[in-house]
Structure 1
Amino acid sequence: MFFIVVWWILIQGKTDSWFVGLISISLALVTSFILLPPNQYRFSFSGFTHFLIYFFASSLKGGIAVAWMAIRPNPDLHPNIYKITPRLPEGLGRVILANTINLLPGSLSVELTSSSLYIHVLDERQSIETEVRRIEEKIAHMLRLELKN
């Protein structure tokens, strides 16, 4: 149904391109089953809502902090690369974690391995470990995953 609704929105409700749409929808459905098999992850809508709220609040806070650093005459930056051991199991959760960190101002995921996540930050005095652990908790709640200790 999701792909049908997306197609309907893309064609603005017109009926003259449903033949191409059915082919496209079928290919998208097959691809989604290959890339993300059903029942592999149990999605929580309340977890997703909490994740979005946290993400937007963190983005706003981080954006203000980076803007403040940029307009100061003598920016006092202490860039560093952190190595963090993710508590999320390997797979989709860790990918979402790395991509979320990329979208937050002042941080960038450098490398994601099977045992570590390397993060570049503009200011090492930030509480990056605490921030990553909060993001992991939000992702775990959203995907209903168990965190490792």
Structure 2
Amino acid sequence: MDFATRLLVFFGCWTILAGWDPSSWVIGLPAVLFASWVYGRLAQDSARPGIRPMLAFLPFFLRESFRGGADVARRILRPRMRIAPGFQTYRMRLSQPAARVLFLDCVSLLPGSLSADRHQDVIQVHLLDASLDVTPELADLERRVAAIFDERLEPDAHV
């Protein structure tokens, strides 16, 4: 995708998120320019995602977005919040930079989770309920992201 196309795509995304309010472009214009530049840099450093795998990922993305939002809402709307916050560690097997970024961003889709820190291949995942083991969900997400970038993952070697 060339720079002008990336600008149009990110311009459209910003417009969807912020609307047509001219004052939003004080932040929006630098954000659109920066996102277009970063996307171009990441695209140079890694394989390009496939259209079919991205379309196959879309239902998963929508389902997990809804499930994650519903889980958080359910937890905070109860009179006695069911939370036991904490962290879990997960070792990423993805090697391509763009695949890693997508994976880290999508961790927040999973119910009650947020990628909080990364040191090389190891991420810290913040959880609203640390008693739950999210390793199987993270491994599934990682496999789905790997499929988008046609990346082969080494066997599971989780921390």
Which bin holds the TM-score, normalised by the shorter protein?
A: 0.7 to 0.9
Instruction: Please tell me whether residue 37 in structure 1 is matched to residue 12 in structure 2.
Output: no
Q: Using the TM superposition, give the Cα deviation of residue 130 of structure 1 relative to its aligned residue in structure 2, in angstroms.
A: 1.4
CA deviations over 1:52-97 (Å, ceiling 9, x no partner): 2111101101111111111111112121101101121252211211
The two structures, once aligned, show a CA RMSD in angstroms of: 2.8
Q: How does 1:43-62 map to 2 (within 5 A)?
A: 43-62=49-68
> Once the two structures are aligned, what percentage of the paired residues are identical?
26
Q: What is the one-letter code of the residue matched to 1:131?
A: E
Larger relative contact order, structure 1 or 2 (CA cutoff 8 Å, min sep 6): 1
Instruction: Please tell me whether residue 81 in structure 1 is matched to residue 95 in structure 2.
Output: no
Distance 1:93 1:71 in 2: 34
Q: Using the TM superposition, give the Cα deviation of residue 102 of structure 1 relative to its aligned residue in structure 2, in angstroms.
A: 3.1
Q: Using the TM superposition, give the Cα deviation of residue 139 of structure 1 relative to its aligned residue in structure 2, in angstroms.
A: 0.7
Distance 1:50 1:126 in 2: 27
Tell me the residue number matched to 1:121.
127
TM-score with structure 2 setting the length: 0.68
CA deviations over 1:22-76 (Å, ceiling 9, x no partner): xxxxxx68x82x54327x3042111111222111101101111111111111112
Instruction: Please tell me whether residue 144 in structure 1 is matched to residue 150 in structure 2.
Output: yes
Which ranges in structure 2 are unaligned for 5 or more consecutive residues? Answer: 12-35
Contact 2:67 2:110 in 1 (8 A): no
Distance 2:89 2:8 in 1: 45
Higher-Rg member (1/2): 1
Distance 2:49 2:6 in 1: 20
2:101 maps to which of 60, 81, 95: 95
Contact 1:88 1:145 in 2 (8 A): yes
Q: What is the one-letter code of the residue matched to 1:37?
A: Q
Distance 2:131 2:56 in 1: 26
| Number of residue equivalences | 130
Which ranges in structure 1 are unaligned for 5 or more consecutive residues? Answer: 11-27
Q: Using the TM superposition, give the Cα deviation of residue 146 of structure 1 relative to its aligned residue in structure 2, in angstroms.
A: 1.0
